[in-house]
Amino acid sequence: MASTQFPGTRGVGKAIYRVLSGIPTGALWFVVVIWSIPTFGLAVNSFRGRDDQRNSGWWTVFSDEGGTSLDNYETVLTASSTNSILESLANSFAIAIPATIIPIAIAAFAAYGFAWIDFKGREWAFIATVSLLAVPLQVALIPLLQLYSGGAHLTLPLMDKTLTLIPDFGLAGTTTAVWLTHTGFGLPFAIFLLHNYISGLPKDVFESARIDGADHFTIFWRIVLPLSVPVLAAFAIFQFLWTWNDFLIANTMIGAQRTEQPTTIAIANLAGDYGRNEHLLAAGAFVQAFFPLVVFFSLQRYFVRGLLAGSVKG
């Protein structure tokens, strides 16, 4: 069964390597330094008080004019409110973990089916799935919120009846509504990325497994998954970072339910009325960024290999 290959991807990885290898190391370090300056300034400000942040630049910390302390971090971590920062971290995990694992599980099966199972309409089904990437997330938020809060119903005027397509599960204002939305919008990209990798696996391996009597599930579990660890890790990084740092979807689906809010909303609320506590945002941002950094550096060895998955064949 022939796999589907996307035109224009052959040799892309080699071309990228040639371009990067021709750039002087000094130029790359210059770009890294310039790109890191805003983050470094934010880190310095996270240790400075409100008056210092307002009256002088972060670079004055290296002179006698500036001072540092851990007061901002202490305030962020110990602030008493309806939803503390520690509770919001738990909510963020309740959103990011299922929104990362579930799309990977579903997309891996779908990608294998599109790549190596020959069925009628396979190409059109794959095109229809990937085309969902073009659907703007913003236009679907309110309809999804209405679906979560009231279900889906179809009125039949001729029969004077209302048909319930999806019952009201009462998901509005919960973290479940957030990770369900992330799962739905993350699946098309996950299927596209995994398909591009799985379709590039050696065909001889699959034929040998079939000769030995292996069925599709055995091939998927024993061969495809172990060989697909780099691309699975790459997507896991993308999806975890996206869901962990999301504000729009969480704010739309959760709204005023403060006990369900993730860290992105909790930190935004730290600024208070009229932004009088905006000096706490820098410290809150680094508290919130700690876990994504752990995930990235734990999986970063797979990151580049996963990004170039399926593009270096030939």
d(CA 198, CA 219): 12
**Mean pLDDT across 257-267:** 87
What pLDDT shows up at residue 65? 61
Read off the pLDDT of residues 204-245 as tens digits, 9 standing for 90 and up. Answer: 888 888 888 888 889 989 889 888 888 888 888 889 999 999
**Lookup result for tokens 């699975």:** 232
DSSP for residue 10: T
What pLDDT shows up at residue 291? 87
Amino acid, single-letter form, for residue 202: P
Query: Which residue ranges form the domains of the chain, and what is each CATH number?
Result: 1-71 (no CATH), 79-308 (1.10.3720.10)
Helix (H, G, I), strand (E, B) or coil at 166: strand
d(CA 171, CA 151): 10
- Least confident range from 93-102, 136-145, 156-165, 173-182: namely 156-165
Read off the pLDDT of residues 143-164 as tens digits, 9 standing for 90 and up. Answer: 898 888 888 888 877 777 888 7
Question: If 0-12 CB within 10 Å is exposed, 13-18 middle and 19+ buried, where does residue 36 land?
Answer: exposed
Read off the pLDDT of residues 129-140 as tens digits, 9 standing for 90 and up. Answer: 999 998 888 888
**Mean pLDDT across 164-183:** 88
- 194 Cβ neighbours under 8 A, 6+ residues apart: 107, 108, 110, 111, 228, 231, 232, 235
**Mean pLDDT across 159-176:** 83
**Mean pLDDT across 39-47:** 89
| Alpha carbon 313 to its chain's center | 27
